[in-house]
Amino acid sequence: MTTAAHLPPMIDDDTTDHHEDIAAITQVIADTQTAFNTNDADLLTEHFAENATVVNAVGMMMSGRPTLHAANQRGLAGFLRDEYARYEVLDVRFPRPDVALAYKNARSTTPEGELIDVDPTMIALYVLVKEAGRWWVIARQNTLVP
């Protein structure tokens, strides 16, 4: 028998109007797209917290802003140099007023921004924390879509 004490909770912050938060988080993802498409490792690292962790699309886990910046530099100067993408924010959820989960799709594009892929080639989950009035990425998980 299931009782009310055993039902899973709905974890969603409804105490705050998140309109401005969603705009700020959407800008974080827009900056990430701009950084990727212009090979800008500094901008690609800009929104990561000092102790952020990323799992990239091939399952490699990296932690710490200096490590992430170095990986961004290597990737953007190397195998990602001539790659371009368009990102689409799918959803932003707030389990707490200062914690957000953001989901994005990625599709390959030409240098001019024309879509190459009809369907997404990657989906990413961002975990963000609001600290000192701005949103910081504390974790990101990239997953290739077969």
> The domain that contains 134 carries what CATH number?
3.10.450.50
Give domain status of residue 79, yes or no.
yes
- Rounded to whole angstroms, the Cα distance separating 69 from 50 reads 11
Query: Given pLDDT bands bounded at 50, 70 and 90, which one contains residue 1?
Result: low
Query: Given pLDDT bands bounded at 50, 70 and 90, which one contains residue 4?
Result: low
Give domain status of residue 4, yes or no.
no
Give domain status of residue 134, yes or no.
yes
Number of domains comprising the chain:
1
Residue range(s) defining the domain that contains residue 63: 16-144
- CB–CB of 73/108 below 8 Å? no
- CB–CB of 52/139 below 8 Å? yes
pTM summary value? 0.92
107 Cβ contact partners less than 8 Å away, ≥ 6 residues apart = 85, 86, 88, 115, 116, 117, 118, 119, 120, 121
Give domain status of residue 5, yes or no.
no
Tens of pLDDT along 25-70? 999 999 999 999 999 999 999 999 999 999 998 999 999 999 999 9
Give domain status of residue 66, yes or no.
yes
Give domain status of residue 6, yes or no.
no
DSSP codes joined into one string, 20-86? HHHHHHHHHHHHHHHHHHHT-HHHHHTTEEEEEEEE-TTS-EEESHHHHHHHHHHHHHTTTTT--EE
Tens of pLDDT along 78-93? 999 999 999 999 999 9
Give domain status of residue 127, yes or no.
yes
Give domain status of residue 7, yes or no.
no
